[in-house]
Amino acid sequence: MTRLLDIFSIVNEATGGNDVINNTSGLGATGWNQNIHYDGMKVMMKPSRFLELALKIDTPKEDSITHIENHIKNGGKLGSPFLRIEIPVEWRTGNFEESARVTGHEGRHRCMTILKMFGDEPIEVHLILRYPYDPKYHIGGQIRNRDIKPEWMTAINKELYAQDSYRMCFRNFTSFVSEAHHEYDNPTYNTQFSPVNAGDTFRVFHGFRDRPDAVAALIHGMSGKERANRAHSYEFNNNPQGVFVSLSQKIAQRFGSTVIEFDCTLDELEAPVWPGGSYTVQGQMAQYFPRGREGRVARIQRRKEAEKETEQELSKRDDLEHVKQSKQKYLTYMLTNSTEYQALFIGHLDPKKIRAVYVINTVDYSKPYIKMTPQEFLQHNQEDPKKRDRHLFDAHEDFSEQMMFDRFASRFGYKNRDDLEHGLCGMWNSVVKSPNPGETFKQEIGKWMYPKQIPAAFNWFKHYFKVK
């Protein structure tokens, strides 16, 4: 079943500055952005209107605007700006005499930069709604997406108090962003799939061959940017990164006795590619992409060919309308028309986003799997201290100097910061003396981190020990 989250007019195509929005890895993206389909609403709003609604900034930081501008020019993306909005408790009973007001914001300099570079075209803005505490109704706090009523959004669009005054703003956004949540109960060829478009989310499943790996994922998360430990050797070069996921729980169960269920966004998924067009089945001769740069180039080329082949296939068929209406046709085809309903998860999974765990404690896979909450699963399956995850951070965490020092000290027993700095400086010296500093950093220091932390950590080491 597909649950539509939009409630008014819909936009499917990004325009102007909206092309630089990426709420998974974009500059300034937060957990609010990544979970907005659960925590709030997406709307299309002009940057100028956002700046009118947010707290006024008398002297913009020109260095921040320059930094964001250079980030975009170098191909970087931005997280959506967002507004926190407090709505009157009386709205619950249909009384709209009082108006909502903006109480918080993030993203003023991003909006200024987009306005400068792309003009005043609408961009994706996130709205996070909350009630003030009211003892009469015994309510207060954040309002989830599922509890937001259409008439509330109509009222917010009609009139809304700006954050810094009693100034009223009118007609505050142009439309809602098209967003659908794709959730299917063990799909088949008879399943009625919906088109896939930007902003959509998916319920997916991943099966673990080894239960300790599942335990580590429940504690630390997992990254789709790491080199994957594939069960079959030929997959090491064919799809070296990404976690295979499926829309079908039954399919995921074929790959292990422990299965996790979680939600992800479209931009966290990528279609796998193989030299021969599909994965190798038993009895076939396995084909391989080359190693290194040659392999990366070959995979990119094969993905372009797969996109064209999908277009050709669709031109010959009268069905698969949902694929024809989707922007990423090859990915949609793999998710909804392949035998394994699969894709590669290439994001950074926060363990808190894992919704459920399914386990079977026997080699007889015909037996039913037992559904557990993550907490129940970890009560019965603890991490082996001798095989604990080597990473100092969790997969989804941002790099932090203090967290790095604290966790290095805790892991290796450093008593003072000077000794730890001396050790880190020694590792950094081996990096700068290397003919390939980037790769050496990954081997010497990055091995303690997930891919999400490595770029920021490299820049920190480069700056910190240069200053020292």
Low-confidence stretches of the chain (pLDDT beneath 70): 1-17, 134-140, 174-179, 230-238, 276-287, 289, 362-366, 386-389, 467-468
pLDDT of amino acid 208: 93
- How far apart CA 65 and CA 382 sit, in angstroms, is 47
Same domain, 220 and 337: yes
Spatial CB neighbours of 95, under 8 Å, sequence gap ≥ 6: 88
From its phi and psi, is residue 139 left (phi > 0), alpha (psi between -120 and 50) or beta? Answer: beta
pLDDT of amino acid 277: 61
Same domain, 253 and 346: yes
Same domain, 19 and 84: yes
* Number of domains the chain contains: 3
pLDDT of amino acid 367: 76
Q: How far is CA 199 from CA 194, 345, 352, 400, 408, in A?
A: 14, 15, 20, 29, 38
Which of 386, 421, 441 is the C-terminal boundary of a domain? Answer: 386
Same domain, 259 and 311: yes
Same domain, 240 and 208: yes
How big, in percent rounded to 5, are the helix, strand and coil portions of the chain? 40, 20, 40
Same domain, 322 and 416: no
Q: Which residues pair with 180 in a beta bridge?
A: 4
Flag whether 189 is in a domain: no
Which of 386, 413, 436 is the C-terminal boundary of a domain? Answer: 386
Same domain, 430 and 380: no
pLDDT of amino acid 183: 87
Same domain, 366 and 311: yes
Flag whether 393 is in a domain: no
pLDDT tens, 334-356?
999 988 999 999 999 999 999 99
pLDDT of amino acid 71: 92
Q: What does pLDDT average to over the chain? A: 85
Flag whether 183 is in a domain: no
Flag whether 391 is in a domain: no
CB atoms under 10 Å from CB of 419, counted, come to 13
Q: Which domain does 435 fall in, by range?
A: 401-467
From its phi and psi, is residue 286 left (phi > 0), alpha (psi between -120 and 50) or beta? Answer: beta
Q: How far is CA 459 from CA 117, 186, 397, 464, in A?
A: 27, 45, 16, 8
Specify the pTM. Answer: 0.65
DSSP secondary structure of 22-52: -TTTSBT--HHHHTHHHHSEEEEE-HHHHHH
pLDDT tens, 127-141?
999 988 766 655 668
Q: Residues in the chain, how many?
A: 468
Same domain, 363 and 450: no
- How far apart CA 60 and CA 112 sit, in angstroms, is 9
Same domain, 414 and 367: no
Same domain, 164 and 208: no
pLDDT of amino acid 34: 81
pLDDT of amino acid 22: 87
Flag whether 412 is in a domain: yes
Same domain, 156 and 97: yes
